[in-house]
Amino acid sequence: MPTTDAAATRDPTVAEQFADADQQWRADLLGMWVFLLTEIMMFGGMFMAFAIYRVEYAEVFAEGARHLKLHLGVINTVLLLTSGLTMSFADPAVQAGRRRTVLLLLGLTAALAIAFLGLKGYEYFLEYEENLVPVGDLPFDMAPFSSDRVKVFFSFYYVMTGLHALHMAIGVGLIAAAVWLVARWRDASRVSRQVQIISIYWAFVDVVWLLLFPALYLLRPALGG
Amino acid sequence: MRETLSRILSYLVLLALLGASVYAAQWPLGLARIALHLGLGGAMALIVVAVFMQLRRTPALARLFAYAGVLWLAILFGLMSLDYVYR
């Protein structure tokens, strides 16, 4: 019977709803890009709202940016770019069957991401100590700017960087899942697809930060001025 | 080997662009500097999309969704800007 023949010759690593491994790979990538499209629209809306307030309250927003820790932002950007590089090497290493290299690269990526999150947390703590957290009854003071407009800047700052940090934390979870898959190494093609998809997600997290960093940290009065 | 080199070179270019953007922060804040910071950030984002997200090696249908993201962003930014300017 034809169906029995087809079942007998079928690649056992391909899920039953797909004709072949190539179609499964294409579907996986498409799924990730559809998801990223929704992410683009979510972050896009936030950037648009930020842009309008940045124009409307230009002086206050520039002053708010001056109160952010630029050096910590730069270090975090370097950490994130480096993690993007290590993650981009993971998929080729999977395809070359170098399991230990993949584990090392994924471990490095996760470590850099955790360092980023740790530094971000430290930055939040410093801002808390400087009374720059506009939440509830917490004291808020950015002399000589005491208006509520400063709170708008810091609200954008915490929501945008917080949402980005949440995406990073999810990314670290995905990388941990990839480490587990690579450690088992039962199905090389599946491992390759998963690592590639996580790489794309991770690069997207990079992209969001590369746009957040100048918008929040760099649109400030001249350094040393 | 060529891809490895391309990724490392892209990483170095990204660091250089980051350095340039931070260096420019010592200039007085005006429209030109704002455009420079956002332009350099956009260029860095494009490099990451092209090299680390491997957009060129992505199947056409998935790439279409990536381009659709840009299109919808343009619609969002365009219509919102028009509303803001003419309201």
What confidence tens digit (pLDDT) does each residue in B16-71 have? 999 999 999 999 888 999 999 999 999 999 999 999 998 888 999 999 999 999 99
The label of the residue with tokens 């279409």 reads B64
DSSP assignment of chain A equals: -HHHHHHHHS-TTS-TTSSSHHHHHHHHHHHHHHHHHHHHHHHHHHHHHHHHHHHHTHHHHHHHHHTS-HHHHHHHHHHHHHHHHHHHHHHHHHHTT-HHHHHHHHHHHHHHHHHHHHHHHHHHHHHHHTT---STT----BTTB-SHHHHHHHHHHHHHHHHHHHHHHHHHHHHHHHHHHHHH-S-HHHHHHHHHHHHHHHHHHHHHHHHHHIIIIISSSPTT-
Q: Is B54 on the interface with A (CB under 8 A)?
A: yes
Q: Pick A37's closest partner by Cβ from B49, B52, B69.
A: B69
Residue of B nearest to A207 (CA): B45
Q: What is the pTM of this model?
A: 0.93
Integer Cα distance of B62 and A23 in angstroms: 12
Q: Does residue A13 register a pLDDT over 80?
A: no
Integer Cα distance of B22 and A37 in angstroms: 30
How high is the pLDDT of residue A203? Answer: 97
Model confidence at A223, pLDDT cuts 50, 70, 90, reads confident
Residue of B nearest to A71 (CA): B22
How high is the pLDDT of residue B29? Answer: 86
Q: Is B35 on the interface with A (CB under 8 A)?
A: no
Q: Mutate which of A207, A212, A217 to test chain B, going by most B C-beta atoms within 10 A?
A: A207
ipTM of the complex: 0.95
Model confidence at A55, pLDDT cuts 50, 70, 90, reads very high
Q: Pick A220's closest partner by Cβ from B29, B49, B58.
A: B29
**If you average pLDDT over residues A4-15, what whole number do you get?**
68
Q: Mutate which of B44, B67, B71, B83 to test chain A, going by most A C-beta atoms within 10 A?
A: B44
What confidence tens digit (pLDDT) does each residue in A95-147 have? 999 999 999 999 999 999 999 999 999 999 999 999 999 988 888 887 777 67
How far off is chain A from B40, nearest CA to CA, in Å? Answer: 9
Least confident of A32-46, A51-65, A179-193, B13-27: A179-193
Q: Rounded mean pLDDT of chain A?
A: 91
